[in-house]
Structure 1
Amino acid sequence: MTTIPVAVPRKGRPLEAVLERVAAVGNAESVADAVVSTLRYEKAVTKGDQTAAGDVYDRLADYSDTDPHHPEYTLFRDARPGSPRRIVFDSLCVEVGEHELHLVGREEPFRALRKHEFPLGFDSADLVLEEVVGIESDPLSSLSELNDRIDPRDTDVRVVDGLGDTVDHALLSTPDVASDPDRSFLETYQGPLCISPRYERLVRAIVGTDAMEGVSFRYPGDREEEAAIASAGLGVYLTVTGSTARDHGLRVGERLFPSETVLLENPEEYTDAVGTIARTLVGSVETTV
């Protein structure tokens, strides 16, 4: 049995999407559910929504197991001021067919693949956009276009496919700016566009440089994003149903790009076993090598 190391996020929606997919192909529903429930509980403790009965180190010892087929966890310093160390995912081995996946938690799986530490990994498509996708005059609108926009001089890593856990980067506007904002509206629009600062490069890529002429970025600061967009009149923000946006009087327009967990591979680390696992994880896909 060949063991394939796979870099995965340590927490959050992307990790849950990975665990759901691994559970489906590896008959590991119970252990995947245990990891998800544990991390959701620990997130609630970190946010102050739950009161833990014991010390964080005692809980860490209770959760973890030296058997590689049982989950291990580790401590991670939460970024918010004053927050305690947070328990996050660290490691788990799951048998998938004739091979074994060794899921290894990383804060930045994509960067771990770029450094040739893993042949496969899962991360957000957003990070690929933020780091290596070229910004061109034409907008980027689908996952299938990502690899064509990656300069091979920047990285060997390529996107295999997405997991379908889609949250969309969507155009939002107040009714006085646009009743149904879309890409064609952006082509003639001149004025402020409210976005999260971390998404500046991403927005330039998915909108395209031609549509950015005459547009100036605004940032939410301490306000919640929907409120800031309502003040600016137009913005790009992640949305599922759009209900919160509508609560702020915003119109939900075109969904510009999916924020989705994707399977990544480094072709330089390719083997037949890696190719088999990649096809199993995302279905009948052609690998990028």
Structure 2
Amino acid sequence: MGETIPIAVPRKGRPLESVLDRIARRLDVADLADEITSTLRHEKALTKGTIEPDERSVYHRLADYSSVDRPTAPEYTLLRDDRAGKPRRIVFDSVTIPLEGATAVDGIEDVPDDAAIQLVGREEPFRALRTHEFALGFDSADLVLEEVVELRPEPLERIADVNARIDPVDTDVRVVTGLGDTVYHTLMATPEVAPGTEPLDRRFLEAYEGPLCIEPRYERLVRAVLGTRTLEGVDFRYPEEGREEEAAIADTGLGVYLTVTGSTARDHGLLLGEQLFPSETVLLENASERSPTVDAVRALFDGADLETELALEH
């Protein structure tokens, strides 16, 4: 096998599944993608206790999953989960996928016949790119906002504007495209705090003074998305450890949290307002690590068929 391009990916969850789905559609490896996804979903259910415990120990399951009989079989590893008791959880480690025939994919050119990609699990793929361990990787757009975008008085409304707020002195990493697995950071409030007949949106927040409940890890993201001017007079509050986010927002009266359908928020008596910012898995590249093969691999994940919130020129 010739050159292998390593790509940093999350070890579990929706972002990893989105990457696997994209690869399955572009390289015709649906069985491999399904194998990894179903394994990790099963292990998540075991860790959460939503299915009956497996008779095998976690170490025996790990050995069974990581077969040495297939050179391109996926491998897994163990991490401590943050749930009660800190159980060990099986998560994705790596898999190598040959790119033979990849040039038959629309938009792909100059991929060496003997090249391959290796998906490598990382707890923080974005940071792995920042330290030049990888040329390409996938992570949530949220992580980029939380770490490197400049905070300005004016709001950040689109993922497509993220690159313009990254200081080139700070990092060589840039957003290339998104995978379309979009959920939203949504403004929500109780009927008592909501502005009655007026929209529950950024304009309401500009005049609002008082508490705003958010997850601590999203504080910098919220400051970037709303703009520092909008947040004048706003006091951030955080959910108590172990408390459901929507319940904490209901107690506070106003907050921002990720929503898909919004059903859980409505169950807590909350009204849904403006979708402030999309959360989406994004393809990242470290420009200083580019090569002809890296560029060809990057094109493998990009494409006009993507339904993404991004509209980047690259």
| TM-score category (smaller protein) | over 0.9
Residue from 183, 206, 212 that aligns with 1:167: 183
The answer to whether residue 142 in structure 2 is matched with residue 126 in structure 1 is: yes
**AA at the equivalent of 1:182:** D
Aligned to 1:189: 208
Aligned to 1:27: 28
Per-residue CA distance 1:77-123 (angstroms, 9 max, x = gap): 11234132111101111234144211011111111101101110000
Hey, what's the Cα distance between the residues in 1 that align with 2:312 and 2:50? 44
- 1:286, distance to aligned residue in structure 2 (A): 7.5
Preserved contact between residue 175 and residue 285 of structure 2 (Cα < 8 Å)? yes
Hey, what's the Cα distance between the residues in 2 that align with 1:8 and 1:287? 23
Hey, what's the Cα distance between the residues in 1 that align with 2:303 and 2:98? 17
Preserved contact between residue 177 and residue 312 of structure 2 (Cα < 8 Å)? no
Residue from 127, 131, 139 that aligns with 1:111: 127
Moved over 2 A (4+): 65-68, 284-288
Hey, what's the Cα distance between the residues in 1 that align with 2:262 and 2:61? 37
- 1:275, distance to aligned residue in structure 2 (A): 1.2
Preserved contact between residue 6 and residue 118 of structure 2 (Cα < 8 Å)? yes
- 1:287, distance to aligned residue in structure 2 (A): 7.6
What is the aligned residue count?
A: 288
Q: Secondary structure in 1 aligned to 2:212?
A: strand
Q: Secondary structure in 1 aligned to 2:229?
A: helix
Residue from 93, 97, 104 that aligns with 2:96: 93
Q: Superposition RMSD on alpha carbons, in Å?
A: 1.5
> TM-score, normalised to structure 1's length?
0.96
Aligned to 1:201: 220
Q: Secondary structure in 2 aligned to 1:113?
A: helix
Hey, what's the Cα distance between the residues in 1 that align with 2:286 and 2:313? 10
Aligned to 1:270: 290
Superposed, which structure 2 residues align to 1:219-234 within 5 Å? 219-222=238-241, 223-234=243-254
Hey, what's the Cα distance between the residues in 1 that align with 2:84 and 2:186? 30
Distance 1:286 1:186, change over 3 A: closer
Unaligned runs of 5+ in 2: 103-110, 305-310
Preserved contact between residue 68 and residue 91 of structure 1 (Cα < 8 Å)? no
Preserved contact between residue 188 and residue 255 of structure 2 (Cα < 8 Å)? yes
Residue from 205, 224, 249 that aligns with 2:269: 249
**AA at the equivalent of 1:162:** G
> TM-score, normalised to structure 2's length?
0.88
Select between 124-133 and 174-183 the one with higher mean Cα deviation: 174-183
Select between 118-127 and 88-97 the one with higher mean Cα deviation: 88-97
Q: Secondary structure in 2 aligned to 1:118?
A: coil
